[in-house]
Amino acid sequence: MARIRKRSIQLSKLCSFACCRSSSQDEHAQIGQKGYSRVVYCNEPDSQEQIRLRYRGNYVSTTKYTAVNFIPKSLFEQFRRVANIYFLVVACVSFSPLAPYSAPSIILPLVVVIGATMAKEGVEDWRRNLQDIEANNRKVEVYDKSSCSFRQTKWKDLRVGDLVKVCKDEYFPADLLLLSSSYEDVVCYVETMNLDGETNLKLKHALNVTSFYSSAESLKEFRAVIKCEDPNEHLYSFIGTLYFDCQQYSLSPQQILLRDSKLKNTEYIFGVVIFTGHDTKVMQNATDPPSKRTKIERRMDRIIYVLFSTLILVSFIGSLFFGIETNNDLSGGNYTRWYLRPDKTTVFFDPRRPAVAAFLHCLTGLMLYGYLIPISLYVSIEICKVLQSIFINQDQAMYDEEMDRPAHARTSNLNEELGQVHTILSDKTGTLTCNSMEFVKCSIAGTLYGRGMTEVEIALARKRGEQLTEQAPIDASESKKSIKGFNFRDERIMDGKWVSEPQSDVIQKFFRVLATCHTAVPEVMGPDEIMYEAESPDEAAFVIAAREVGFEFFARNQTSIKLRELDPTSGIRVDRVYELLHVLEFSSARKRMSVIVKNPENQLLLLAKGADSVIFERLSKEGRAYEERTKEHIEKYSEAGLRTMAVAYRELDNDEYKTWEQEFLKAKTSVSADRDVLMDELACQIERDLILLGATAVEDKLQKGVPGCIDKLARAGIGIWVLTGDKRGTAINIGYACSLLRHGMKQIVITLELPEILAQEKEGDKEAIAEASLNSIKLQILKAKSQVTEESSTEFGLIIDGKSLTYAMDKNLVNSFMDLAMRCATVICCRSSPKQKAVITRLVKSVTGRTTLAIGDGANDVGMLQEADIGVGISGVEGMQAVMASDFAIAQFRFLERLLLVHGHWCYRRISMMICYFFYKNITFGFTLFWFEAYTSFSGQPAYNDWYMSCYNVFFTSLPVIALGVFDQDVSARLCLKHPLLYQEGVRNILFNWPRILGWMFNGLLSSIIIYFLTTNSITGPAFRKDGQVADYSVLGVTMYTCVVWTVNCQMALSINYFTWIQHLFIWGSIAFWYIFLVVYGSIPPTLSTTAYKVLVEACAPSILYWLTTLLVVIAALLPLLSYRAFQIRFRPMEHDRIQIQRRRPESTEYDATQRRLSESSEARTSSELPSEVRIRIDNLKASSKRKN
């Protein structure tokens, strides 16, 4: 047995690594049928048969466009927006005489806008393309039959059937069938981080029949045919058959190496390419995340429709009047307006057919008033959002030093949604907690060890108002260096002092169990440094704890485990070798794991650790010595939010073991379907009559700053749901620790762990159980609801477990359940499955109709993240899966506070202001055109020169609005965090509700009226200069346009709160640019500049009246907003106004003092209740929003 193999540790015997079992036989029968038709001729990629099948090459392309289809496809994408189609139609029609403007002046802005968007698409796609090129040109060694050797090829040149060699730490270029590896038992280790985010190594092993092909020479003769399933996206299944040597062998996922996973701990492997390129499972999985649209965008679409209706209405009114006027041109056989030559006119102005003329004029009107629709709105918003995301990415306050990870906005189109989050759905492990387990306490032989205090305990102690004895400093000075996963302080045990403890033999046994009963693999990093690669962080914590106490596990091979431990008699550290006989693996069903070892004294031992409930029921009579006390301790631990595990052992009798082993091996090698059941039963047989040693307590550490962050978010009025797989007790404790549940909060628990239900369960009638459960849940919900309505002044925390949740989600109950849940400040769903998480998220989203944010870190949260309006991934230890599915990635939960309260608030404010302002400026402009129309008998003559108008959206007004969208801040980041209630502006959508939007539109209308009538009355009529010249069409156009540019830009200056040099530059620069434009445009020959020729230099600038009119009109047009704002701030200040004013006068007002007091107290407490004032305010808010709903 002790044959030395080259570096081979036959870990395959540790079944726990095997993640999937071979699929059952009936599936294999489907081979060759529909969906299972793939045929691979191994090592014969050039054969006729293989080529005839025409499988895709290994070239992958993740780009949206190709060089050929970029133009048409991206154009198509652009014109999926209604507004853009409108502009395209207008551009096309502009070549006809219908057009009020010259065609180029219409086409240019469209080209600029579409071009900018396309350029953005192009750049993004180019980046993807570069990644593709990199991936496609990676090198891999492919077997060349002619030379019997491997030669380097690019990934993209791989074909189905090729034999490839992949070396250590290389990625697999395609989905491969594992033939053989550098290990003699043809296993290899794979890291699938890129696929599912799991960092632990997975074991794959080849079929034994192919294991002989382990050298380049032998491969020459290798011929086989694989028939298998068609490409699909299921990562964990594979069905196929290998036809080799006239024999059939079933293939399972165990033999499949997936593209983009990595070969680890194995020198090299040989494999056959089965799926290439886009057929690979990873590429089949690579669907775009569901594209999410924000509420603001959806509302914006509606506003666009409103504007379109206005546009149509206005054109209709225009054409109606035009029709009447045209009709009047012919009265009683005489042509009234003879100077228009109505006798020899075109169809557009024909008084004999006024209806046709009016209809055609309506089309003209649709083009003329097209300025009501902001052409550059979409592209400006996109630019702003991209820049906003850059700010999010660049924020130093959201950078995690430890992980070296800044925040990352993966999609830029959800920024403003961050400011409107109503409910946060959070994962627990890895999100609220670090998912780094720390061994903090243990109970050995009924004695408590471990003096450290967990955060939960501190929080609980605070809650009880106990005075805490400061002990943290002692710890800090005492510990030489903090060890990850170990936070155990007890001078009775540490540094070998356990020897002098009364129960030292039990302590020794206890730690021996911890050091041997596991599946971790040691990695010797240096002389004194050993790292462990373990399946779960709990396990690593145990091994580390054992090492720190003096039971160092330093080597493992397939048959033995080596420890270096202190010999209590001699006091020297000696190496002990435990012969590893069997590993009875951990599973969630068994809730325990055990190993059978033979110690150096030749004793056969079964060492076990597992959940207390499972272990306690397997204790022998004499093994229960410490049962009572240990139980007590476990209770205490779990109250303190710790994860507990009971530790026990058993000495095996040689004969008993022999008989058992025979049976066990037989079961193990059997191929029947019930092999697993059989093995479980056998494991049960041997895992009995245990002797209890003690229990461990591991702390699932809270992430830094979590309680504070949750407290802030709660004060911002955001509801928080925690969806966790934990037990109820643990979940509640964590809830307290991170101030989700607060003192004075009433807990409502909905559970099925009631005696009557349990009794029913024993009977086993499934339908009866279901019915009883449903009724019970219904009753509980009703009871809770009446409680909530009765005592509306207190806060409630709802705790529900996964099983009850399935019943609560019943369609008859779901509404009342959600109603209850919405009234609770905190909801904790424990024992919920990943799927339930997604379902709950969808429900919360659909029932409330508000914005939900899901935050999680693991692969199990992906569904939830994609379902929620916003998915935030924590780039923590559990890999990148969640991050890949998320919209925003942050490194720590506490950054959520800044992401929402600061960036969310800002972005929401910016985008909503920006859109309102956009509509304002276009309505102002568009309606001046309309008023002018009224004075041209609605003939469709624009008030301005064509090119002034086409530059309006693109040059004179775009930059300030972008600056608003990117830089504006109502209050600074510090104040945003200090006044979390400010966030409610977004949740209640105060800045983008219909009254506000319509208010801005009304303001635009008002501005246009003021501009038009004041300008025309001031400037036209008598001479406007000293030299007697009168203002003509071109002068009026320039004057009005000047007023529009000034008004619109000054209105912007009035409504933003934040002036940096950028704002100044853009706002005043835009106005200056208008004058520059006039001078430049006016100096080109008159055939091109037409009415604009020298109009400023010669006509307007020397006229004092022109400047006086500008001043008058601009001030008059600003007055409505200015006085509205002044009155509003005085009588109905919004939250940000209040804070701004407060900031001005920090020393004064009583309110500020209370605020300071509040913030002080909030800093002091970690888990205390909300300040009453804040709570009352939140209650008011909720009440008012409810009334509206």
Partner 1 sequence: MDTNGATTSSAAGGGSTSKSSSKKHSRKPVYSRFTQQELPACKPILTPGLVISTFTIIGIIFIPLGLVSLSASEKVVEIVDRYDESCVPSDYSNDKLKFIQNPSINKSCVRTLTVPKLMKSPVFIYYQLDNYYQNHRRYVKSRSDKQLRSVSDEKSTKDCSPEDKTVDGPIVPCGLVAWSLFNDTYVFSVNSKTIEVNKHDIAWKSDKEHKFGSNVYPKNFQSGGLIGGAKLNSSVPLSKQEDLMVWMRTAALPTFRKLYGKIEQDLQANEKIQVVIQNNYNTYSFSGKKKLVLSTTSWIGGKNDFLGIAYIIVGGLCLFLAVCFILLYVIKPRPLGDPSYLSWNRSPAGHPN
Note the helical H segments in 935-968: 946-951, 958-967
Say which residues have a Cβ less than 8 Å from residue 151's Cβ, sequence separation at least 6.
Answer: 141, 142, 144
Distance CA 1119, CA 1017 (A): 19
Is residue 117 within 8 A of residue 379, CB to CB? The reply is: yes
Q: Which burial class, exposed, middle or buried, applies to 1116 when counting CB atoms under 10 A from its CB (0-12, 13-18, 19+)? A: middle
Distance CA 1012, CA 931 (A): 7
Residue 406 interacts with partner 1 (CB under 8 A): yes or no: yes
726 marked as part of a ligand binding site: yes
Distance CA 1167, CA 465 (A): 11
Tokens standing for residue 1036: 């009026």
- Three-class DSSP category at 821: helix
Binding segment for partner 1 (CB under 8 A), chosen from 369-377, 613-621, 834-842, 986-994, is: 986-994
Tokens standing for residue 440: 């903090």
Residue written as token pair 């989600």:
809
Residues 870-929 that bind partner 1 (CB under 8 A): 906
Distance CA 905, CA 1143 (A): 18
Residue 19 interacts with partner 1 (CB under 8 A): yes or no: no
Q: Shortest approach of partner 1 to residue 345 CB, angstroms? A: 7
Interface pick for partner 1 out of 192, 310, 447, 1142 (rule CB under 8 A) = 1142
676 marked as part of a ligand binding site: no
Query: Closest CB to partner 1 among 317 and 581?
Result: 317
210 marked as part of a ligand binding site: no
Residue type for 1007, please?
A: S
429 marked as part of a ligand binding site: yes
Note the helical H segments in 139-240: 193-196, 216-219
427 marked as part of a ligand binding site: yes
Neighbours of 421 (CB within 10 A): 28
Is residue 178 within 8 A of residue 204, CB to CB? The reply is: yes
Residues 275-334 that bind partner 1 (CB under 8 A): 334
609 marked as part of a ligand binding site: yes
Residue 654 interacts with partner 1 (CB under 8 A): yes or no: no
Q: Shortest approach of partner 1 to residue 664 CB, angstroms? A: 51
Residue 1093 interacts with partner 1 (CB under 8 A): yes or no: yes
Residue 536 interacts with partner 1 (CB under 8 A): yes or no: no
Q: Shortest approach of partner 1 to residue 909 CB, angstroms? A: 13
Query: Closest CB to partner 1 among 445 and 1105?
Result: 1105
Number of residues located near partner 1, criterion CB under 8 A: 119
Residues 334-363 that bind partner 1 (CB under 8 A): 334-341, 344-346, 348-349
Is residue 641 within 8 A of residue 549, CB to CB? The reply is: no
Q: Shortest approach of partner 1 to residue 382 CB, angstroms? A: 20
The length of the chain is 1189
Q: Shortest approach of partner 1 to residue 721 CB, angstroms? A: 23
Residues 115-134 that bind partner 1 (CB under 8 A): none
Tokens standing for residue 676: 């697993």
Residues 960-979 that bind partner 1 (CB under 8 A): 967, 969, 973
Q: Is 970 a catalytic residue?
A: no
Neighbours of 1122 (CB within 10 A): 15
What H or E segment, with its residue span, contains residue 271? Answer: strand 268-275
Is residue 910 within 8 A of residue 1052, CB to CB? The reply is: no
* Alpha carbon distances (Å) from 462 to 642, 743, 894, 1162: 18, 10, 21, 13
Interface pick for partner 1 out of 146, 291, 396, 570 (rule CB under 8 A) = 396
Interface pick for partner 1 out of 3, 481, 621, 1188 (rule CB under 8 A) = 1188
Interface pick for partner 1 out of 59, 1033, 1068, 1073 (rule CB under 8 A) = 1033
Residue 1034 interacts with partner 1 (CB under 8 A): yes or no: yes
Residues 47-86 that bind partner 1 (CB under 8 A): none
Residues 998-1027 that bind partner 1 (CB under 8 A): 1014, 1016-1018, 1020-1027
Interface pick for partner 1 out of 52, 54, 621, 1187 (rule CB under 8 A) = 1187
Interface pick for partner 1 out of 525, 669, 1061, 1164 (rule CB under 8 A) = 1061
SS (H, E, C) 463-521: HHCCCCCCCHHHHHHHCCCCECCECCCCCCCHHHHHHHCCCHHHHHHHHHHHHHCCCCE
764 marked as part of a ligand binding site: no
124 marked as part of a ligand binding site: no
Interface pick for partner 1 out of 611, 1009, 1062, 1158 (rule CB under 8 A) = 1062
857 marked as part of a ligand binding site: yes
Is residue 272 within 8 A of residue 162, CB to CB? The reply is: yes
Residue 1058 interacts with partner 1 (CB under 8 A): yes or no: yes
Q: Shortest approach of partner 1 to residue 652 CB, angstroms? A: 53
Residue 192 interacts with partner 1 (CB under 8 A): yes or no: no
Which one of 427, 700, 946, 970 is the catalytic residue? 427
| Sign of torsion over alpha carbons 217, 221, 227, 231 | positive
860 marked as part of a ligand binding site: yes
Note the helical H segments in 333-376: 354-368
Q: Shortest approach of partner 1 to residue 736 CB, angstroms? A: 30
| Sign of torsion over alpha carbons 1024, 1030, 1033, 1038 | negative
Binding segment for partner 1 (CB under 8 A), chosen from 233-241, 608-616, 791-799, 1125-1133, is: 1125-1133
Distance CA 1003, CA 693 (A): 79
Residue 1064 interacts with partner 1 (CB under 8 A): yes or no: yes
Q: Shortest approach of partner 1 to residue 1039 CB, angstroms? A: 9
Q: Is residue 341 left, alpha or beta, with left meaning phi > 0 and alpha meaning psi from -120 to 50?
A: left
The DSSP bridge partners found for residue 271 are 164, 178
Residues 372-391 that bind partner 1 (CB under 8 A): 390-391
- Three-class DSSP category at 1053: helix
Query: Closest CB to partner 1 among 127 and 1026?
Result: 1026
Distance CA 233, CA 960 (A): 47
Residue 394 interacts with partner 1 (CB under 8 A): yes or no: yes
Query: Closest CB to partner 1 among 1080 and 1104?
Result: 1104
Binding segment for partner 1 (CB under 8 A), chosen from 294-302, 416-424, 954-962, 1107-1115, is: 1107-1115
260 marked as part of a ligand binding site: no
Distance CA 1065, CA 1071 (A): 10
Cα-based torsion angle of the residue sequence 428, 434, 437, 440 in order, rounded to the nearest 10 degrees:
-100
Q: Shortest approach of partner 1 to residue 430 CB, angstroms? A: 21
Angle between helix 1033-1055 and helix 994-1019 axes, rounded to 10 deg: 140
* Alpha carbon distances (Å) from 1185 to 416, 608, 988, 1116, 1133: 20, 56, 7, 37, 18
Residue 1132 interacts with partner 1 (CB under 8 A): yes or no: yes
Binding segment for partner 1 (CB under 8 A), chosen from 134-142, 399-407, 624-632, 671-679, is: 399-407
Interface pick for partner 1 out of 26, 217, 221, 401 (rule CB under 8 A) = 401
Residue 1184 interacts with partner 1 (CB under 8 A): yes or no: yes
Interface pick for partner 1 out of 984, 1008, 1042, 1051 (rule CB under 8 A) = 984
Residue type for 943, please?
A: A
Interface pick for partner 1 out of 1031, 1043, 1048, 1100 (rule CB under 8 A) = 1031
Residue written as token pair 């990629």:
45
Residue 936 interacts with partner 1 (CB under 8 A): yes or no: yes
Residue 93 interacts with partner 1 (CB under 8 A): yes or no: no
Q: Shortest approach of partner 1 to residue 515 CB, angstroms? A: 36
Active site residues: 427
Feature table: binding site for ATP: 427-429, 539, 586, 609, 643, 724-726, 831, 837, 860-861
Feature table: binding site for Mg(2+): 427, 429, 857, 861
Feature table: binding site: 427-429, 539, 586, 609, 643, 724-726, 831, 837, 857, 860-861
